[in-house]
Structure 1
Amino acid sequence: MLKLLRVYLEELIQISSYGVKYMRMAFATCVQLGLSCIEEIYRIGGKLDLLITLKDEKAKNKSGRIYLDDFSNKHNIPLLKINNINDREVINALKKYQIDWLFIIGWSQIAKSELLKTPNLGCIGMHPTLLPIGRGRAAVPWAILKGLDETGVTMFKLDEGVDTGPIIGQVKIPIEPKETATTLYKKVNDAHITLISKYWNDITENKVEMISQDEALATYWPGRRPEDGEIKDEMTISEAERMVRAVTKPYPGAFYRTTNGIIRIWTAEISDYVKNECADITIKLKDGYLIPTEYEFFEGEINE
């Protein structure tokens, strides 16, 4: 009885302080896109009641991997380090802190039904395409590989499907002719910040409106592995140059196998003839040459 009374009094204090019941928010991320959102929440005067991230030893080579210890300590936010988003300790923590909304941003593990239903109002994610186009994985590389002239970021409520939940908002991103993964990732990061800033108050005041996705427009993009970035002799110079741009930093990079080892290529030029005889390396392809301008050479095999 005393516990219930204390909870009731806390809620009265929250209502009198904010005009509405204070929403308790949690955020799960292990990548820069998520940290940028967290930083924006605090820049605009928001607050988080729980941070969730991977244990330090997990996913060390994940693109954009970050750690939340410093932010947690600076703002005195409880930090839970886990192996999997569906672990029992996550469910228990969400209940302990009476979380209303859980943001899950830049997290590769699929949230299961119990996790999705544990926060009082649900879970919110972001996907770096204009959903329902490009459901799935590797959204930044695929947007370049497919030669799109536009992509974007979608904020949506998570459900049990893969990127299928109702849409809260979107930001469109133009793709330049020579766009690289590095520059597009920066645009995607900025779009995440824009969406957080635009919809934070609606979410915390329980005024957010959602629109169902049009299944007739849905497309799915498969995951990519580092070995999918291999440059092969039968490629055209256009295909190879696009591959280099699509998987450069923060991704693992394109590579070419030689008799002596592997060339990891971060930037490159193309030519239908060897225009620079002083170039350190030229790679003969189907219709011309790929000329690496920023690269690393590894003798023998390397772990992809």
Structure 2
Amino acid sequence: MIRIGFVTCVQLGLSCMEAIHEAGGKLSFAMTLEDNQAVNKSGRIYLDEFCDRYGIPVLKSRHVNNQNVIDAIKEHELDWLFIIGWSQIASEQVLDAPKRGVLGMHPTLLPIGRGRAAIPWAILKGLNKTGVTLFKLDTGVDTGPIVDQIEIPISSTTDAQDLYQLVEAAHVELMRKTVPALLADELELREQDHSLATEWLGRRPEDGEINLDGSVYDAERLVRAVTRPYPGAYAVLDGVKYVIWRAEIIDPEDGEFGLRFFDGWLKALEYDVLR
């Protein structure tokens, strides 16, 4: 019998845990943060109810690399461990603790887009598709062998909120697809083509400032890329900060707030004023 463990502290991870059970699997172990950690983290959830329902032993620890976590993985004789929706980087000791390894997901079509801020960058770069990759973790950054991928199309109107939801759905779909092969111990891995790899850097809230001397098309794309659940695109006019959540390129209309660029007018459809 293949024994599977899971590490998460957010809704996306819990949705994947549910998908494992819906696909006929059963978790033998779960690990999450202490109850008082990351209480303000977006999407933070608690695993107690789910684990109680299915009789899953759950360990709460402040860090995935703590010795008690490593000991628990070995004690439960896990074959595979999933780490999904988790910001702490797993140590080599954690990666080596399960018999067959650790699996994770990344919201790009690896080896494209290794790194961070995958959803905003996919829109900012004007890609016509992105996706989610299930892969085996190694000591590199998103460099491990691939289990499977799902492509997600991106249109000229896709924003971060749309893409975030599609990425979450793809995580669950990948989990359901993978569980039968995982349980049959028939999981196939293929190495990434490292010659095609690209790395996307992390983004900061200040990277959302709109360049008023730039193109209206770049500004509109920025608004879509960093709208909710991200901090938003903004412009500072006469000392007032405007955070723009939705916008469209139109001809100027009297009485409507927007931003003028050399090549067009960006009408703000939804925005906040911060004084």
Shorter-normalised TM range: over 0.9
Confirm whether residue 278 of structure 1 aligns to residue 255 of structure 2.
yes
2: CA distance, partners of 1:87 / 1:262 = 43
1:48-107, Cα deviation, whole Å (9 max, x unpaired): 122222334444554544333332333332332333221222112212222221101122
Q: Distance in 2 between matches of 1:117 and 1:236?
A: 49
After alignment, is 60-69 or 194-203 more displaced? 60-69
2:111 aligned partner: 132
Superposed CA offset, 1:23-68 (max 9, x none):
2211112233322211211222221122222334444554544333
1:292 and 2:268 correspond: yes
* 1:77-226 correspondence runs (5 A): 77-226=56-205
Post-superposition Cα deviations, 1:218-240, rounded to whole Å, max 9, x if no partner, equal 11111112221122322311111
* Paired residue secondary structure (2:18): helix
Q: Distance in 2 between matches of 1:147 and 1:67?
A: 36
Aligned to 2:27, the other structure's residue is in SS state: coil
CA distance in 2, matches of 1:285, 1:82: 51
AA of the residue aligned to 1:298? L
In structure 2, the partner of 1:268 is: 247
Which piece of structure 1 moves more, 55-64 or 90-99?
55-64
- Identity of counterpart residues, as a percentage? 52
TM-score by length of structure 1 reads 0.84
Unaligned runs of 5+ in 2: none
Larger radius of gyration: 1
Return closer, same or farther for 1:195/1:173 CA change in 2, 3 Å cut-off.
Answer: same
Query: Which residue number in structure 1 is paired with residue 214 of structure 2?
Result: 235
* In structure 2, C-alpha distance between the alignment counterparts of 1:136 and 1:126, rounded to whole Å: 12
Conserved 8 A contact 2:24-2:179 = no
Q: Which amino acid aligns with 1:28?
A: V
TM-score (norm 2): 0.92
Q: Distance in 2 between matches of 1:47 and 1:163?
A: 26
Query: Corresponding residue for 2:9?
Result: 30
Q: Deviations over 1:97-148 (max 9, x none)?
A: 2222110112222212111001111100111111111111111111100000
What is the SS of the residue equivalent to 1:37? helix
Cα distance in 2, alignment partners of residues 259 and 83 from structure 1 = 45
Distance 1:298 1:79, change over 3 A: farther
Q: CA RMSD for the aligned pairs?
A: 1.9
* Offset, 1:284: 2.8
- Unmatched 5+ residue regions in structure 1? 1-21, 300-304
Supply the AA of the counterpart residue of 2:252: V
Alpha-carbon spacing, 1:67–1:229, altered in 2? closer, same or farther (3 Å):
farther
Mapped contact 1:64–1:250 kept (Cα < 8 A)? no
Seen in structure 2, the aligned counterparts of structure 1 residues 194 and 292 have a Cα distance that, compared at 3 Å, is: same
Distance 1:232 1:48 in 2: 49
Tell whether the 8 Å contact from 2:23 to 2:180 is kept in structure 1 after alignment.
no
In the alignment, the residues of structure 1 paired with residue 121 and residue 233 of structure 2 have an alpha-carbon distance, to the nearest angstrom, of 14
